[in-house]
Structure 1
């Protein structure tokens, strides 16, 4: 059994999850679908359109860290739309049509058993939170994943102004949940975030959905085993 740590335990009252590669994954098939849609709609070559779309996103993928609100994010997407249009040779209206058909959240899918795991945690009386280094629209993405109704607190770190693994990101999440660090299990796919959470007193577990990291959780449903072990212990 994988255990988050071996320190003396107080009753567990909440589970705080990362989003990407923990609760959700990027659906690579949607990239191909979007490129094919743009090719058919605007007379582009699908393969080249896909490559240019990927390159444009890669150039903007880290440009959201300074955003603080959904209004800031709207301006970010306006800039992205203009650049995407230039890259693909589309008008602003055409680029806007592409982004409307394939918004950011459409490229995500929930991991296996995501809804079942969150439903079970809530049924056991635990609070569920999400803390993600992402854009302000985290609520919209969780809604698109079909998970928003099972999440008590969803925090995009850019709205807080501190990102994981900075301590302030975890402190903000704990305050929002109304729980103490020792009462919360944190689950994330990045070792540096797990280490930072443990240093602050949270119970923490690394998840690796690819199954490459020895000792990590390899399925989201493994979280339920950790919670049960905590309760039984």
Structure 2
């Protein structure tokens, strides 16, 4: 299955990047993810791409979020994580990361406003 992203989400990602926020993807994917993200033009919108196939642990395990926090060298409370699967949020939440169950762009924007990102 080829990855796809809502154009409004990419616009928001670009908006965040122009406001000096780092953006990242954390995916439970295969070794094909980098190729897929580049071939669809998604990868250039993000500063970092984290793939569980390369990390060796997957969402929702807290250890995958520990890994991302170490690489980004950021405290958990300065990170915002959204996923379209509520079950994938648990590990991030236990680490103190701001989480959001993504359903639509309006809800995502509201959640980002709630934590003073936008």
2:1 matches 1:119: no
Matched, 1:134 2:29: yes
Instruction: Provide closer, same or farther for how the CA distance between residues 132 and 198 of structure 1 changes in structure 2, counting only shifts above 3 A.
Output: same
Alpha-carbon displacement from aligned partner over 1:159-201 (angstroms, at most 9, x marks no partner): 1111111111111111222211110011012222212211111
TM-superposed deviation, 1:123: 1.3
2:114 paired with 1:229: yes
User: How far off its partner does 1:154 sit?
Assistant: 0.5
SS of the residue corresponding to residue 187 of structure 1 reads: strand
2:73 matches 1:178 = yes
**Structure 1 residue runs of 4 or more that deviate by more than 4 Å after TM superposition:** none
Residue 53 of structure 2 is aligned to residue 158 of structure 1? yes
Structure 2 residue runs of 5 or longer lacking an equivalent are none
Aligned length: 118
TM-score (norm 2): 0.85
Uncovered stretches (5+) of structure 1, i.e. residues with no partner:
1-25, 27-106, 208-217
- The root-mean-square deviation of aligned C-alpha atoms, in Å, is 2.1
Helix, strand or coil at the partner of 1:170: helix
